Homo-oligomer: A and B are copies of this chain.
Amino acid sequence: MEKVGIIGAGLVGSLQALFLAKRGFKVSVFEKRPDQRKTEFLAGRSINLALSDRGWKALDHVGIGDDIRKVAIPMYRRTMHDENGKLSYQDYGKEGQAIYSVSRGGLNQKLMNLAEPLENIDYFFNLSCQNIDLKKNEVTFKDKLNGNLEKHQFDRIFGTDGAFSKVRLRLMKTDRFNYEQSFLEHGYKELTIPPLADGSHQLDKNTLHIWPRGGFMLIALPNLDGTFTCTLFLPFEGKDSFENLNTPKDVNSFFEQHFPDTLDLIPQLQEEFFENPTSSLVTIRCKPYHYQDKILMMGDACHAIVPFYGQGMNSGFEDCTVMDEIFDECGNDWKKAFKLFSERRKKDADAISDLALYNFIEMRDLVGDDDFLLRKKIESRFYEKHPDQWMPLYSMVTFSHTPYSEALAIGNKQRKIMNQVMSIDNINDIWDSEIVEKQILDSLSLS
């Protein structure tokens, strides 16, 4: 039986263990951190995530979807908060469609609890990958409790050890490995909106809240315990920046000026701001994702993206679904399978990576823009009438399984069509007319 080692027991590693176990492989999962089910351990990562269709598909495949649905909070729309506390709304999709706020830790632990009892999955904690001997396909781990080194040899290795992957660090030293790490000028900091006295949420919980402010923004996602986790995205340097918020007073006046309606909502603002870390945001691109028929990387290890499309976890989970389909195609030809995954997934990861970077501009700037909102209205009206001819880009990414690269290409075509539509003189008055509908239909038939 093929002996498979998975490096990294995070979301993608634990899910991939389940996919591989279903196919009968003998799987060992290695995690450098302690067992998070036994210790409080958050490691500065974001504590909730938005789950959408690509993620659900993979979870349903391993039979855990319904369990997670019980503890996921649907968010049907964006709620924008302007400087005066005035609200406006934008639905994510059609009636009933939502993205779901889930706890990173809760989801990870559920996956582990499902995986560990299986006969052909073993978990090992506190073992950090130090090196990989590519000839023998042998990993040297360091036991973080006693400092001892131990070696494990595998037929195949899956590298699911995140944005700062040790597996990738090893592959970077092989010839002709293309690699890029690119950081945003913005960092982020998490803050908390506690529940009301009765335990309920202080804001509408079935929505993702955004305070768009052009160069920066605040967002809030609901948690099951009545809290919201807020995230402030702000440049590290410059006028409005983390480097200029050095005292509780600075922070208070910054929030007073830009987010006045949050001052009552975040009572521990000044304490949390200085206790919680300021984290950076990285995009990782590399090529290839595999090494011969021996090693394959998945998730953030090969394609970490910025969080603004809510697709980081979803694209990692889709890696598992795609790999599973490739196993069906390739049988036990690992060389072909790994190469195919690398080629197919690389172009989709590049696409969602670009989309995620673009969506930051949309979220922090455009969601408050009249022109932008009118575009969205025209698009969704047309989508309603001609669902077979037009699915908005956001819906393709979030509520479909269209490969990201195809979604991006279609989205680019749609943008050109919408640019023409928006240049109609009295578009504000006639946006919901047959003239506009016909122009879009004509453009589509030409493209």
Contact = CB atoms under 8 A, between A and B. Distances in A.
Interface string A155-178: 000000000000000001001111
A182 interface: yes
A235 to B, nearest CB: 12
Q: How large is the interface on A (under 10, 10 to 19, 20 to 34, 35 or more residues)?
A: 10 to 19
A183 interface: yes
A181 B180 CA distance: 6
A181 B172 CA distance: 9
A178 B182 contact: yes
A179 B176 CA distance: 15
This chain's copy number in the assembly:
2
Of A176, A178, A183, the most chain B CB neighbours within 10 A belong to A176
A251 to B, nearest CB: 21
A236 interface: yes
A178 B178 contact: no
A180 B177 CA distance: 11
B177 A178 contact: no
A93 B122 CA distance: 68
A173 B182 CA distance: 13
Contacts of A175: 183, 280
Contact of A181 (B177, B182, B236, B280): B177
A82 to B, nearest CB: 31
Nearest to A278: B175
Contacts of A176: 183, 236, 280
A180 B183 contact: no
Closest 5 CB pairs of A and B: A180-B180, A176-B183, A179-B181, A176-B280, A178-B182
